[in-house]
Amino acid sequence: MLANSPFAGSSLAVLVLVGCALLSWPLGRWLRAAMDPQTASGPLARCDAWFRRLGGGATAGEHGWRRYCVQLLVFNVVMFTVGVLLLALQPGLPLNPDGKGALEWSLVFHTGASFTTNTNLQHYSGEVAMSHGSQLWALMWQQFVSAATGLAALTALARGLAGRPLGNFFVDVQRATFLVLLPLSLLVACLLVLGGMPMTLDGAVQATTLEGAVQTIARGPVAAFVAIKQLGTNGGGFFGPNSTHPFENPSFATNVVTTMALIVLPMACVWLFGRIVGNRRHAVVLFAAMSVLLLAKLGVAMACESAPTPAFAGLPVAGDVGNLEGKELRFGPGAAPLWAVLTTCTSNGSVNCMHDSLNPLTGLVPMVGMWLNETFGGVGVGMINLFVYLVLAVFVAGMMVGRTPEYLSRRVEVHEVKLAVLAMFAHALCILGGTALFAATSWGIGTPNDPGAHGFSEILYEFTSAAANNGSGFEGLGDNTVPWNVATGLVMLLARFVPIVLPLAIAGALAGKRTTAASAGTLAVDTPTFGVMVLATIVFLGALTFLPAAALGPIAEHLQTVR
């Protein structure tokens, strides 16, 4: 009854957002204790010693940004290589009870790149193409370590801004995996199993329907897969329909649990950042700024989706419950825009409705979330993306008052600003360059399911999702082709590591500078004024970069429907 009540959308949004905000504070304290232990004794210190013994010489010492980035990149190259080999050898590996065959080479490359980069953009249907072994060993394993990579990178960034060595990546990735992601995933998986989600290594089962037909029902270790896909802002579905599938999201209760899992860790990462840099009030300002953007996008999405789909406009079937096309009606119409906003604000990419069926301006909101890519964002990397905006915001503020910009008592100079601009440029180039190429050539022409502005939106959304390491899509696009697989695979790799390496380089440069004493001209970073400056920087830069593309896609489609 709650799912279908008139207030279900707003009630669910309040439940999820308030609940996650409250949970994020103690979780942030745990993240600090787990990721950056300051004591020399106790259980966490013993775990740390075990991690260093396990890693041998690779875990010795604390490093600057260059050595840290080399460790991160080497680890991810190994991840990618192992993942690709496991996918390529799928037919001959264990845990293949349904006899899944080999995958096409470009799909192997694309899937390997997708899961290595925490994107999980899927050009396949999981229950059709993947064995249980591939789901567990090639995909779910990478969901843990790719999310751990982002959390480790944020911890290193914060250490650098605090004037310390960035640390040791191999130690940090073990801390993130075994002390944070694995325990939380076990907890969420148990809740999902209690909610009716399957958890088995058996193959598909044959069932006879009431009409006498034989139906093949896919099943597998779904609960374990879904827990980390949500908590790690991964988003890859065990089944093709993702969280609209009744086995991947059985009830309204599991929908609430999985929706909360989308956002709670990214929120906690803000408190982790504030604790490591030693300025919790600054974290409060950042949390508030991101919350304002999140609520604005959520308000727009819910308002736009309250109108019936244009195809049903004026018909009695439309009713007054909003756009029901592409929705999972078990959760009510309000759950879809909430999930769509959260999954694209946090670079998760899982879906509980079809984004292609959203009203045009509602469909624009997920794109905006991925274009800005910092409204809490992915685990760890959301705060790293916001840091780029922070550098640009303090630069603009410094120029306005006529003094050298400063951030956390360290001067932000030309070198740091150039790196920040390059990081933003790379994100925009991956989206707009890829969209322009595929919209103008045979690689993309003919692959959209719809003509005109909506077809352009399908292409734009695909490159946006790849560049934001999100993984959701405007389904209907014929994207399982060699050009699409190779192009989006390359975009995912570039868009994952450039926005991590460049901010770490900025943090390394700032770590080597002396702190400057605060004065009357210093822009305090823990005041509402700074929060407004950050919001203005994000909105203006985002609008200048992506508004023309939006005008050709969702905005043009909306104007066509209101003639």
Burial of 318 (0-12, 13-18, 19+ CB in 10 A): middle
Alpha-carbon span 244 to 350, nearest angstrom: 9
* DSSP letters spanning 427-471: HHHHHHHHHHHHHHSTTTTT-SSS-HHHHHHHHHHHHHHHHTT--
Alpha-carbon span 470 to 108, nearest angstrom: 19
SS3 state at 244: helix
Is residue 322 left, alpha or beta, with left meaning phi > 0 and alpha meaning psi from -120 to 50? left
pLDDT digit string (tens) for 389-441? 999 999 988 877 777 788 988 889 999 999 999 999 999 999 999 999 999 99
Alpha-carbon span 550 to 388, nearest angstrom: 23
Q: Pull the structure tokens for residue 381.
A: 């990397």
pTM as predicted: 0.93
So what's the pLDDT on residue 294? Answer: 95
pLDDT digit string (tens) for 332-377? 667 889 999 999 999 898 998 888 888 899 999 999 999 998 899 9
pLDDT digit string (tens) for 75-84? 999 999 999 9
What is the arithmetic mean of pLDDT over 111-126?
Answer: 93
Alpha-carbon span 154 to 274, nearest angstrom: 11
So what's the pLDDT on residue 520? Answer: 66
Contact assessment for residue 238 and residue 248, using Cβ atoms and an 8 Å cutoff: yes
Burial of 544 (0-12, 13-18, 19+ CB in 10 A): exposed
**Position 3 pLDDT exceeds 50:** no
So what's the pLDDT on residue 211? Answer: 85
**Position 492 pLDDT exceeds 90:** yes
518 to 132, 156, 164, 390, 527: CA distances (angstroms)? 58, 25, 20, 18, 14
Domain residues of the chain, as ranges?
A: 2-561
So what's the pLDDT on residue 262? Answer: 94
Alpha-carbon span 164 to 411, nearest angstrom: 16
So what's the pLDDT on residue 476? Answer: 81
Asked which of 35-39, 277-281, 456-460 is least confident by mean pLDDT, the reply is: 35-39
pLDDT digit string (tens) for 210-224? 888 888 888 889 999
**Position 2 pLDDT exceeds 60:** no
**Position 5 pLDDT exceeds 60:** no
Contact assessment for residue 413 and residue 394, using Cβ atoms and an 8 Å cutoff: no
pLDDT interval class at 330 (50, 70, 90): confident
So what's the pLDDT on residue 317? Answer: 62
Contact assessment for residue 323 and residue 307, using Cβ atoms and an 8 Å cutoff: yes
Look at 149 and 409; give whichever has higher pLDDT: 149
Alpha-carbon span 11 to 2, nearest angstrom: 9
So what's the pLDDT on residue 7? Answer: 43
Contact assessment for residue 522 and residue 417, using Cβ atoms and an 8 Å cutoff: no
So what's the pLDDT on residue 218? Answer: 86
* DSSP letters spanning 460-524: HHHHHHHHTT-----TT----SHHHHHHHHHHHHHHHHHHHHHHHHHHHHHHTSPP----TT---
Amino acid of residue 536: A
- Using only C-alpha atoms, what is the Rg of the chain? 23
What number of other Cβ atoms are within 10 A of residue 56's Cβ?
9
What is the arithmetic mean of pLDDT over 228-234?
Answer: 93
What is the arithmetic mean of pLDDT over 19-45?
Answer: 88
So what's the pLDDT on residue 311? Answer: 67
pLDDT digit string (tens) for 58-98? 888 889 999 999 999 999 999 999 999 999 999 999 989 88
Percent of the chain, pLDDT > 70? 94
Place of tokens 């780029």: 388
470 to 15, 26, 229, 431, 488: CA distances (angstroms)? 24, 27, 12, 12, 12
Nearest alpha carbon to residue 154 among 417, 415, 379, 408 = 379
What is the arithmetic mean of pLDDT over 253-266?
Answer: 94
So what's the pLDDT on residue 313? Answer: 65
